[in-house]
């Protein structure tokens, strides 16, 4: 991996120069603070830098979208977060947002418009796909050529917003062997983190949801489980560890696959 420093301009810096970026990269709480997800954030930034995308982040002006609060039932806290974020976004006259978190994606895309925040919102897999389609980024299989990869559909990208193909198209571009789990696409099994479950112990049962999902993945004997959500990434990584399969199966975000394929 090259050590070229990342170019991560903030909106404040753009504003100072009187310029407007092409797109705002909404990093999200996981992408900002979680050690595993930060690697995904950086991989995505390397790709944005490589493709010379004129982007900016909010940096310290970004705050939680309010998704976990809303799904926990705290509509007050959600709307406080939403209104605050929308004020910041509108002040910067943001038109287009890309994010690597399907929860942020869903919330900003679907729940912010009713509160005065109207933006074109893309998941990073959709955005990367468009960069490829426009010829701004090229992908070669590299180290992933011929590897068995299964994609775990994030609920908030798939069922919630009907995005199934963009991440799969990207995997195919790697000349990898894309294998589907028993439950996939609209019937994909949840990783167990959604609806604020990430932040609490599960109710009593006979199994953890992430274990059930990991077992489905292991059944198709992948070398890599591809994720498109930092929460799913954590849950699947934990699942693989619990099943003692760390030496055989890696859990990687699609952005990491694309970036690593070109040794970025």
Q: How far is the CB of 173 from other proteins (least distance, A)?
A: 26
The token duo for 264 is 């970025």
The smaller minimum CB distance to other proteins, of residues 31 and 222, is found at 31
Residues from 195 through 224 that contact other proteins (CB under 8 A) = 195-209, 211-213
- Does 60 bind other proteins (CB under 8 A)? Our answer is yes
Report the distance separating Cα 212 and Cα 230, nearest Å.
18
Q: Rounded to the nearest whole angstrom, what is the least distance from the CB of residue 237 to other proteins in the complex?
A: 18
Pick the closest to residue 128 from 185, 84, 87, 172 (CA basis).
172
CB 181 within 8 A of CB 149: no
Give the chain's largest Cα–Cα span. Answer: 57
Q: How far is CA 241 from CA 3, 121, 142, in A?
A: 29, 34, 26
Q: Is 10 in the site for other proteins (CB under 8 A)?
A: yes
Q: Stretches 32-40, 46-54, 141-149, 221-229: which one binds other proteins (CB under 8 A)?
A: 32-40
For residue 56, the cross-strand partners are 24
| Whole-Å CA distances, 64 to 163, 215, 224 | 23, 32, 30
Among positions 21, 117, 167, 192, the unique one binding other proteins when judged by CB under 8 A: 192
CA distance 142 to 136: 18
SS3 227: strand
Find, among 250, 223, 253, the residue nearest to 239 by Cα.
250
Return the residues of window 70-99 that contact other proteins according to CB under 8 A. Answer: 70-77, 79-83
Tell the smallest beta-carbon distance from residue 231 to other proteins (Å).
10
Q: What is the DSSP letter of 245?
A: -
How many residues sit close enough to other proteins to count as binding (CB under 8 A)?
70
Q: Say whether residue 64 binds other proteins (CB under 8 A).
A: yes
Q: Binding other proteins by CB under 8 A: which of 108, 131, 190, 252?
A: 190
Query: Does the footprint of other proteins cover residue 66 (CB under 8 A)?
Result: yes
Contact 253, 40 (CB under 8 A): yes
Of the two residues 102 and 222, which places its CB atom closer to other proteins in the complex? 102
114 binds other proteins, rule: CB under 8 A: yes
Q: Which of 15, 59, 130, 262 binds other proteins (CB under 8 A)?
A: 59
User: Using CB under 8 A, which of the segments 93-101, 109-117, 120-128, 236-244 binds other proteins?
Assistant: 109-117
Name the nearest CA neighbour of 148 among 218, 53, 232.
Answer: 218
Nearer to other proteins, 38 or 148 (CB): 38
> Are residues 228 and 151 in contact, defined by beta-carbon separation less than 8 angstroms?
yes
Q: Is 32 in the site for other proteins (CB under 8 A)?
A: yes
Residue ranges in contact with other proteins by CB under 8 A: 6, 8, 10, 27, 29, 31-33, 38, 41-42, 57, 59-60, 62-64, 66, 68-77, 79-83, 106, 109-111, 114-115, 155-156, 159-162, 186-187, 189-190, 192-209, 211-213
């Amino acid at each position: 991996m090259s050590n070229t420093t990342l170019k991560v301009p903030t909106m404040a810096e753009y504003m100072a120069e009187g310029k407007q970026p092409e797109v705002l990269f909404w990093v999200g709480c996981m992408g900002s603070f979680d050690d595993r997800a930060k690697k995904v954030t950086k991989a995505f930034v390397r790709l944005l830098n490589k493709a010379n995308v004129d982007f900016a982040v909010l940096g310290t002006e970004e705050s939680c979208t309010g998704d976990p609060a809303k799904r926990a039932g705290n509509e007050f806290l959600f709307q406080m977060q939403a209104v605050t974020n929308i004020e910041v976004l509108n002040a910067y006259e943001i038109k287009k947002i890309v994010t690597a978190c399907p929860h942020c994606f869903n919330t900003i895309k679907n729940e912010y418009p009713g509160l005065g925040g109207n933006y074109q919102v893309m998941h990073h897999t959709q955005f990367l796909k468009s960069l490829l389609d426009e010829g701004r980024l090229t992908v070669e299989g590299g180290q992933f050529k011929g590897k068995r990869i299964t994609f775990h559909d994030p609920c908030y990208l798939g069922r919630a917003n009907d995005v199934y193909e963009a991440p799969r198209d990207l995997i195919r571009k790697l000349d990898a062997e894309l294998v589907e789990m028993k439950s996939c696409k609209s019937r994909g099994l949840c990783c167990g983190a959604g609806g604020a479950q990430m932040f609490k112990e599960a109710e009593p049962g006979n199994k953890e949801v992430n274990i059930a999902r990991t077992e489905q993945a292991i059944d198709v004997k992948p070398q890599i489980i591809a994720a498109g959500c930092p929460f799913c990434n954590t849950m699947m990584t934990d699942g693989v560890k619990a099943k003692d399969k760390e030496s055989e199966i890696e859990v990687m975000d699609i952005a990491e696959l694309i970036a690593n394929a070109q040794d970025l």
